[in-house]
Structure 1
Amino acid sequence: MTAEVPLLGGTANRGRVHRVGDTVRRPLRPTAPAVHALLRHLESVGFDGAPRVLGVDDAGREVLSYIPGQAVTAPAPPWGLTDAALRSVGELLRRFHDAVAGFDARPYSWSPAAPAPFAGGAITHNDPNLDNVVFRDGHAVALIDFDLAAPGAPVWDVAGTARLWAPLRDPADTPDGRRHRELARLRVLADAYDLDDDGRTRLAAAAAAHHAWMCDLVGDGARRGVPGFAEYWTPDARARADRTGAWLRTRADEITAALA
Structure 2
Amino acid sequence: MPGETESEVLLLGGTANRGQVVRVGDTVRRPQRATSPATHALLRHLADVGFDGAPRFLGVDEQGREVLSYVPGTAITPPYPAWALSDEALVSVAHLLRDYHRAVSTFSPVPHLWPPSPPPPFAGQLISHNDVNLDNVVFRDGRAVALIDFDLASPGCRVWDVACATRLWAPLRPDRYIDDSRRGRALDRLRLFADSYGLDRGDREALVPAVLHNHQWLYDIVGTAAANGHPAFSEYLAGGAMRRAERTRRWYLDNVDVLQQALA
Q: Aligning the two structures, in what range does the TM-score lie when normalised by the shorter sequence?
A: over 0.9
Partners of 2:172 and 2:130 lie apart in 1 by: 16
TM-superposed deviation, 1:111: 0.7
Query: Do residues 124 (structure 1) and 128 (structure 2) align?
Result: yes
2:248 & 2:9 partners in 1: Cα distance? Answer: 35
Q: How far is 1:227 from its partner? A: 2.0
Of 216, 231, 238, which residue of structure 2 is paired with 1:234? 238
Partner of 1:173: 177
| Aligned residue in 1 for 2:137 | 133
> What's 1:244 paired with?
248
SS of the aligned residue for 1:142 comes to strand
Q: Secondary structure at the match of 1:67?
A: coil
Q: Write the distance in 2 (CA, Å) between the matches of 1:50 and 1:161.
A: 16
Are 1:97 and 2:101 an aligned pair? Answer: yes
Match of 1:197 among 198, 201, 204: 201
Measured in 2, the distance between the counterparts of 1:17 and 1:188 equals 33
Displacement of 1:235 in angstroms is 5.0
CA contact (8 A) 1:12 1:227 kept: no
Percentage of pairs with the same residue: 59
User: Shift in Å at residue 2 of structure 1?
Assistant: 1.1
Equivalent residue of 1:84, what SS?
A: helix
CA distance in structure 2 between the aligned counterparts of 1:247 and 1:118, rounded to whole angstroms: 22
Structure 1 residues 150-189: aligned runs within 5 Å: 150-189=154-193
Q: Which amino acid counterpart does residue 95 of structure 2 have in structure 1?
A: E
| Runs (4+) off by over 2 Å | none
The Cα of 1:254 is off from its aligned counterpart by 1.0
The aligned residue for residue 259 of structure 1 is 263
After superposition, the C-alpha distances for 1:29-66 in whole angstroms (9 at most, x for unaligned) are 11100000000000000000000000000111000000
Q: Secondary structure at the match of 2:138?
A: strand
**DSSP 3-state at the match of 1:209:** helix
Instruction: Please tell me the residue identity of whatever aligns with 2:31.
Output: P
* 2:241 match: secondary structure: helix
CA shift at 1:137, angstroms? 0.6
Matched, 1:78 2:71: no
Task: Output the TM-score relative to the length of structure 1.
Answer: 0.99
Counterpart Cα distance in 1 of 2:171 and 2:118? 20
State the AA in 1 paired with 2:249. G
Aligned mate of 1:34, from 34, 38, 55: 38
Unpaired stretches in structure 2, ≥5 consecutive residues: none
How far apart in 1 are the matches of 2:171 and 2:248? 10
Residue 248 of structure 1: CA displacement?
1.1
TM-score normalized with structure 2 length: 0.97
Residues 59-107 of structure 1 show CA distances to partners (whole Å, capped at 9, x for unaligned) of 1100000000001101111111000000000000000000011100021
CA contact (8 A) 1:7 1:19 kept: yes
Gaps of at least 5 residues in structure 1 are: none
The RMSD of aligned alpha carbons is 0.7
